[in-house]
Amino acid sequence: MSRIASTGFLEKKVYNEIKEMIMNGELQPGVPIIQEQIAARIGVSRTPLRRALAELERDHLLETGPQGLFVTQFTNEFILSMWQVRAVLEGLACRLCASRMDEATNAYYSTLLTSSYRHWQESSDPEPYRQADIAFHTGLMELSGNLILKQKLEGAHVLTVSLSKGLLRAPSETYPEHMEILAALSAGNEDEAERQMVEHLRKTIPVLGK
C-alpha cells in the first residue's frame, strides 16, 4: 500500500471512530473536543486526527464555536433542514443517473431491493431492507458522476442515515417508490427520475421527530 493510500485509510478510520463516538453519545453536544484526549483514545497522531475532524465538520457532525470544536446540536429543525437539502441533491443525482445507468445496474438494484423486501414480508426483519436502501441511495450518488454533488451529498446522506438509526417509513411504503425511481431511470427519463426521488425523500419529512 502506498504512503498516500495508507494515510487516507487511517484518516477514514479515525473519521469513522469519532463519528461512532458522536452517534453513541460518548461525545456530547456542548462539550469541547479535546484533540489530545481523542488522539490518545484512538491511538493516532495529531495530523490524521485534524484531517478527520475537518471532514467531520464539513459533514456537519462538528461545528466551530468560541472555545473550539463541538459536537453539533442535532435539533429537529437541523435534521429537517438536512432532509430538505438531501431531497434536492438526490433528485439532481437521480437526474444525472438517467443517462448513465445501464440495464445490468438497474437489474442489480431491483433484485437487491426486491429480495430484501420479500425477506421483510416473510420475517418482519427490516435490517436487510435498510441496508439495501442505503446501498441504493449511495449507489445513485456514486453513479451521478458529479464530484461536487457527491461531496455535498455525502455529508447530508451520512448524517440523515446515522441519525435515523433505522427505517423511518415501512418498506411497504418505500419499496413501490424505489421501483418507480428505477422504472424512470430504466426509461432514461431525467425529469421523472428527479421528480420521483425528490417526492420519495420529501414523504419522509413529516415523520421526522415522531
One digit per residue, the tens of pLDDT, for the chain of length 210 reads: 444 344 567 888 898 898 888 877 888 888 888 888 888 888 888 888 999 999 888 888 898 888 889 988 888 888 888 889 999 999 999 999 999 999 999 999 999 999 999 999 999 999 999 999 999 999 999 999 998 898 888 777 777 776 666 788 999 999 999 999 999 999 999 999 999 999 999 999 888 866
Position 124: which residue type?
S
Claim: this prediction has a pTM higher than 0.85 = no
Cell 441496508, located at residue: 131
User: What one-character DSSP code corresponds to residue 5?
Assistant: H
Position 141: which residue type?
M
Contacts of 199 (CB under 8 A, 6+ apart): 177
